[in-house]
A and B are shown apart, each in its own frame.
Chain A
Amino acid sequence: MHLWMLLMFLGWCFTEMEAGPGAAMSTQTNGDRFKIEGRAIVPGVKTQDWVSTARVLVDGEEHVGFLRTDGSFAVNDVPSGSYVVEVVTPTYRFDPVRVDITSKGKMRYARLVNYIKTSEVIRQPYPLQIRSSGPHSYFMKRETWGWTDFLMNPMVMMMVLPLLIIVLLPKVVNTNDPEMRKEMEQSMNMLNPNPELPDVSELMTKLFSGSKGSSKAGSSSKGTRPAAKRR
């Protein structure tokens, strides 16, 4: 049996830190209960406008707290352990915070949630100060249609610019002037780096029209090309 097991386990060493808040958590069932306190702030918005839709969730819906009318909260009856505390409202976004409560309930500290490096500690103030990072963005922007989008489209630019050159260039440059014509011829020759190398279009015409007058076509086409358009 060919068995592919791509079982991932993270490479980071997990070192239980600081007297192991985790070790104490699961075994204590009817021990002391503690409370998690803090305050949620939405800058520039009155608390009355959003507290009635807000809740404080600790580890999912394991423990639930409500916000007071001034934005502060306390989640009661929490046994010691390590928890992710999250303020949930449908309108504003709050970042979750991890709170550790030691088995004696004395030392509580808060840190940023990091699910990958679970032992990393970036301290946060306690009691918690959770500041909203703005409203939730639920919606995608519609692709609106505007003239600028249309014109800045590379395909359109590729079409429009040569058109402009074809139409405007003959008007600006007087091709009837023989000096000018000579100059242009020269520049054309410059453009064609190897006059010996046949042009693809020429090659095709040669192929289809047979061998007659091939050399003549080659020399004349170069000279007359700008003029031919005007005829």
Chain B
Amino acid sequence: MADEKDREEIIVAEFHKKIKEAFEVFDHESNNTVDVREIGTIIRSLGCCPTEGELHDLIAEVEEEEPTGYIRFEKFLPVMTEILLERRYRPIPEDVLLRAFEVLDSAKRGFLTRDELIKYMTEEGEPFSQEEMEEMLSAAIDPESNSIHYKDYITMMVIDEN
């Protein structure tokens, strides 16, 4: 019993250090606050994969009573620690991602055209901004066929991640 508590303490301590590091990367003024717009980046780089909606709720949790546009570390730390302990917002496994693409590719061709990708990404789900769309297109679309061969795309992205 005591051992387990110790272990949990060690884990929590380690989480705290990780969270602090990630937070500090964006703490430009070195005053333990970050711009609220960077919170998503911080959370995601800590291994979580929330939806925009979930992110929105999270921000509400860590914001000040009267939102200042900045998030303080003291408020962020406990919330984020909890998320990591509970292993919330787990990343998406490769095969699940593949199946998602296959759903969109109803004709089972193995690819999506540029226009189709744009349509789905900007009209469905939690739509991309123009910037996000352009960025994805630049890497995903094969210029010769003007389409995305999603299986290869996923493989490439996954390798890059690791």
Do A and B bind? no
Q: Residues of A at under 8 Å CB distance from B?
A: none
Q: Residues of B at under 8 Å CB distance from A?
A: none
